[in-house]
Amino acid sequence: MELVVQFQVLNQSCQCLAWKPRPVVAWGAESQHVVAGYSDGTIRVFSISRTEMELKMHPHSVALTAIAYSTDGEMILSGGKDGLVAVSSPRTGMTIHILADHKGSPITVLQCTRKQYRDFGVEGGELWLATSSDRRVSIWASDWLNDKCELLDWLSFPAPAGPE
């Protein structure tokens, strides 16, 4: 085991991170990217191959608790301690959507999968899940190119039974 590269952000702690998926069509030299969410509500995109920070965004006012790239790597989904989910563009650095459906309960996991809308009878080329600490899961369909992000359904899980 050998440390290859290290990024240090002063006075902030990294709360979550994710690898950027490989592009479907590679343009020129291949590069690896990591996105990280921090305690001050910022997102930073780091280039592993160039060993530098490429982008800093501030879509949240509280600490991030979960982060993920869309399956095509064109959007970054981030969840905060306050339950808000932000959808941001790593190309422009802009926040496209703020979703408040989990407001009040910290986001614990964000997960994306490439599914076609016809698989489930809804529009969108990608499905994704957001889970929060209140044991609720929201299911979304998105078509990022057409600026569509639609809540499909909720799953709720009961609390474990207490000691007898």
**How big is the CA angle at 66 (ends 129 and 71), to the nearest 5 degrees?**
50
Look at 12-16, 93-97, 124-128, 148-152 and tell me which has the smallest mean pLDDT: 124-128
The chain-wide mean pLDDT, for the chain, equals 89
Confidence (pTM):
0.88
Position 28 pLDDT exceeds 90: no
CATH topology of domain 14-20+32-151: Methylamine Dehydrogenase; Chain H (2.130.10)
For residue 155, count other CB atoms closer than 10 A to its CB. 11
Beta-sheet strands, E only, within 2-147: 14-19, 33-38, 43-47, 52-57, 64-69, 76-80, 85-88, 95-99, 107-114, 126-132, 136-143
DSSP one-letter code for 49: T
Q: Write a three-state SS string for 67-80.
A: EEECCCCCCEEEEE
Which pLDDT score, from 0 to 100, does residue 65 have?
A: 98
Position 119 pLDDT exceeds 80: no
For residue 47, count other CB atoms closer than 10 A to its CB. 17
Position 164 pLDDT exceeds 90: no
Residue-wise pLDDT tens digits, 30-52: 568 999 999 999 999 999 888 99
Burial 53-72 (b: 16+ CB within 10 A, else e): eebebebbeebbbbbbbbbb
What is the Cα–Cα distance from 34 to 36, expressed in whole angstroms? 7
Residue-wise pLDDT tens digits, 52-61: 999 999 999 9
Tell me if 21 sits within 8 A of 72, measured CB to CB. yes
Residue 77 pairs with which residues in a beta bridge?
68, 87
Residue with the bigger pLDDT between 29 and 122: it is: 122
Which pLDDT score, from 0 to 100, does residue 30 have?
A: 59
Which pLDDT score, from 0 to 100, does residue 58 have?
A: 97
Residue with the bigger pLDDT between 161 and 31: it is: 161
Which of 23-27, 60-64, 112-116 is predicted most confidently? 60-64
What is the Cα–Cα distance from 138 to 80, expressed in whole angstroms? 15
Which pLDDT score, from 0 to 100, does residue 163 have?
A: 77
Residue with the bigger pLDDT between 20 and 161: it is: 20
What is the Cα–Cα distance from 135 to 78, expressed in whole angstroms? 18
